[in-house]
Structure 1
Amino acid sequence: MQSSIDRSSPLPFYHQLKLILLAEIERQNCQPGDRLPGDHELCVRYGISRTVVRQALAELEAEGVIERIKGRGTFFAKPKTVEGLVQSLTGLYEDVAARGGHLRSDVRKLAVVPADAQIAADLDIEPDTPVTVVERLRYVDEEPWVLTITHVPADLAPGLVDEDLTDQSLYALLEQKYGVRLVRGRRSVEAAAANPSLARSLGLARGAPVLVLRSVSLGVDDRPVESFVAFHRGDRSRFEVELERSSAPARPLVVVTG
């Protein structure tokens, strides 16, 4: 196990330092929140420049291994949850359960409301058509993780407002009780900064990064049956997509600005 910088090695110093720190984290069995040595201490310990230290730490931070808090120091981070929600029609409940975690929802709103113009467009219905709105602050292993706002046409699940969604999957409920089967959909992910209200809900600093997942799901007759927007903590989540090269003509890249 490397414990010092090998100045004869072709590996860049910052990469060697990164490997040393990863080995130290494993050897010491570091727990989330444990403090790591500061920049100056690492410079002195390994005889390297601050530029080398900062590059190594920047890579570890980008990979979610550490988090650097201004004015406080560098800490071992909680591992980010890898989510496959972009490429498959799973819900967060199923995704977390598949990894052995526990998901609990604080249901903040469950009501039938008239669809506004955006929801009506997403669900291909007329404005003011009744829809059931479900707003949930969702906890993974008792830590606030994501705020989701879901809309379902009220006629598809007429008793949904009376359901307890604290500890059950909305998708499973729609399929098993109301016969609403999700067949395909479209999802997008974008980055955003948490506003004061969202930051309070998720336990973040104002302006902290969040990943915004938007989705519209369609049923067996190609009718939109559900739409949602979910605000995921950027420091706890990453989305993973499997790709394969196809001989079919590529779709144009769509870049949304504004």
Structure 2
Amino acid sequence: MSRPRRALIRSSPIPLHEQLARILRGRIVSGDWGPGQRIPSENELALDFGISRMTARQVLVRLSDEGLLRRVQGKGTYVAGDDSSRNGAEDHVGIRARLERQHPDAAVEGIDVARVSAEPDVVRALRLEPTATVHRVSWIRRSGAVPVSAGEIFVPDHPVADIPDDISLARLPPALAAQHGRSVDTVTEVLHAAVSTAPLSDLLGITDGAPLLVVEQTMTAHEAAPVEYSRTFFRGDLVRWETTTHF
């Protein structure tokens, strides 16, 4: 027996994805779906509402960006506000991730791993001695041939062992967690404006003095010293920061 489709008004000037977003948002705000509750999957929503899976995914991503939902890879999508669906820093959707989603076709290139002397900003962020060395993982993201952002992750030499040269950004958090034996439970992000200077300008294909949005992120495990510090530089002409507040 087929499942009944729920009402979306196809003749309405309001796009189907916006109608669905309003319906799902209403169920969350009203308490029909409570914190930590798993909600229907993309396939189930597509079948229930007679829409494409891509449209369903678009709505779930949007509500996740609004902080109403939490998507956990391999598990499902949950209403935010309860820790039962959390899986640590790997599931964290913060400022950096939301800015990156503005260019979903962008790909990470040029990942480079090196051991370097910690500069003053890194020393302060990771609470290191001034003479400390750190692992630095740097990368650039391009949308086609256009550079969108560039970033660096810094990790203390101790207690982390060598980072493989072929590490990917997606594999880095679990790899670090496995090596220092503790899962990250606190992520602090700072968003600020800056102007570009060489050599970053050359890397991003912009002129010196061009505007940037910079996201600094520090990860901490169980109130101990930070285990990771990163900074990502977004071209100011290609991203914008937008928030939605529901009352």
TM-score, structure 2 as length reference: 0.52
Instruction: Specify the alignment match of 2:186 in structure 1.
Output: 184
Q: Equivalences for 1:58-207 in 2 at 5 Å?
A: 89-90=92-93, 101-107=105-111, 109-160=112-163, 162-165=164-167, 168-175=170-177, 179-207=181-209
Q: Distance in 1 between matches of 2:177 and 2:102?
A: 19
Tell me the alpha carbon deviations over residues 63-103 of structure 1, each in whole angstroms, 9 at most, x when there is no partner: xxxxxxxxxxxxxxxxxxx996xxx8447679858985352
Equivalent pair of 1:104/1:140 in contact (CA under 8 Å) = no
How big is the shift at 1:242? 5.2
- When Rg is computed on C-alpha atoms for both structures, the one with the higher figure is 1
Structure 1 stretches of 5 or more lacking a match? 1-81, 246-258
Which residue matches 2:241?
239
Deviation at 1:133, TM superposition (A): 1.3
Cα distance change on mapping 1:206 and 1:112 into 2, 3 Å: closer
CA contact (8 A) 1:111 1:133 kept: yes
For residues 151 and 145 of structure 1, do their structure 2 counterparts lie closer, same or farther at Cα, with a shift above 3 Å needed? same
Cα gap change, 1:242 to 1:170, in 2 (>3 Å): farther
CA distance in 1: counterparts of 2:244 and 2:185, whole angstroms: 19
* In structure 1, C-alpha distance between the alignment counterparts of 2:175 and 2:102, rounded to whole Å: 18
1:64 matched residue in structure 2: none
Give per-residue Cα distances to partners, 1:191-250, cap 9 Å, x unaligned. 2222242222112233221111122111134430111221101122223445578xxxxx
Distance 1:103 1:93, change over 3 A: farther
2:218 — aligned with what? Answer: 216
Q: 1:145 Cα shift?
A: 1.4
* Alpha-carbon shift at residue 141 of structure 1 (Å): 4.7
Partner-residue secondary structure (3-state), 1:238? coil
Question: Which residue pairs with 2:230 in the alignment?
Answer: 228
- Note the C-alpha offset of 1:179: 4.5
**Unaligned 5+ runs, structure 2:** 1-61, 66-90
SS of the equivalent of 1:237 reads: coil
- Contact 1:147–1:231, Cα closer than 8 Å, also in 2: yes
101 and 180 in structure 1: CA distance in 2 versus 1, 3 angstrom threshold: farther
Work out the CA distance in 2 between the residues paired with 1:97 and 1:209. Answer: 19
CA distance in 2, matches of 1:94, 1:154: 29
Whole-Å separation in 1 of the counterparts to 2:100 and 2:192: 21
> Offset at 1:140?
3.9
Residues 89, 182 of structure 1: 8 Å contact kept: no
The TM-score normalised by the length of structure 1 is 0.50
- Alpha-carbon distance between aligned partners in 2 of 1:223 and 1:156, rounded to the nearest angstrom: 11
In structure 2, relative to structure 1, the CA distance for the partners of 1:99 and 1:208 (3 Å cut) is closer
Contact 1:114 1:129 (C-alpha < 8 Å) held by counterparts: yes
Q: 1:126 to 1:177 in 2, by over 3 A?
A: closer
CA distance in 2: counterparts of 1:172 and 1:244, whole angstroms? 34
Query: Given that residues 113 and 138 in structure 2 are in contact (C-alpha distance below 8 angstroms), is that contact kept between their aligned partners in structure 1?
Result: yes
